[in-house]
Amino acid sequence: MNVLGVVGAGTMGAGIAQLGCVAGYRTLLHDPVPDALARGGDSVRSGLEKGLARGRYGAEEAAAAAGRLRECPALEDLAPCGLVIEAAPERAELKRELFARLSQVCGEDTILASNTSESRANSSSLSSMRSGAASITMSQGARSSSAGHSRNLPAAAVASSAP
Ligand SMILES: NC(=O)c1ccc[n+]([C@@H]2O[C@H](COP(=O)([O-])OP(=O)(O)OC[C@H]3O[C@@H](n4cnc5c(N)ncnc54)[C@H](O)[C@@H]3O)[C@@H](O)[C@H]2O)c1
């Protein structure tokens, strides 16, 4: 897995995207709302600058991390991702629709994950995934695999479940 997709560029999505960039993944951040996408991208870049100011990494590493981010206005842009983490608003129907579309857009081996805080997402929001797809739901303090095969998330994604 070397390309991470993040769906939703709000508080959680931008944070997850930042972690992905720092962890060395080419990170494709999608939001259908242009202003939200721009804000999310800015948030990733300012978060990276803060990390640099705090001495978490050097200037070269921060620049490399920023260079790994791509802002994507279309969900279809996420086709090359090995892992997609959904961080869209907490509306079951919206998440269902997103996973149905992601199942079409992404390859058979792509791991589709949700950052939902809804504990019953396994049986509702994610039910539209294609048969056999791997899904991992991440919520505050808990991670669990749902349908299909569970797989280990890279450190960047696992860390994203922290509040
Ligand atoms: N904020 C938290 O502390 C927190 C903690 C754990 C889990 N969560 C969960 O993470 C998810 C995202 O939460 P958040 O706080 O980042 O929300 P947010 O409102 O900050 O961001 C949501 C983003 O999704 C975008 N969006 C709207 N429609 C979309 C669509 N069709 N496709 C893709 N993106 C769309 C919005 O434009 C917005 O930028 C929710 O499921 C929430 O329950 C949030």
Could you list the pLDDT tens digit for every one of the 163 residues in the chain?
A: 799 999 999 999 999 999 999 999 999 999 999 999 999 999 999 999 999 999 999 999 999 999 999 999 999 999 999 999 999 999 999 999 999 999 999 999 999 999 998 765 554 555 555 544 444 554 443 333 333 333 333 333 333 323 3
CA 109 to chain centre: 16
Q: CATH fold of 3-159, please?
A: Rossmann fold (3.40.50)
Q: What is the pLDDT of residue 161?
A: 29
CB 135 within 8 A of CB 148: yes
Domain spans, the chain: 3-159
- To test the ligand 1 pocket, which listed residue (12, 29, 115) has its Cβ within 8 A of the most ligand atoms? 12
Q: Is the CB of 107 under 6 A from ligand 1?
A: no
* Closest C-alpha among 74, 117, 124 to residue 99: 124
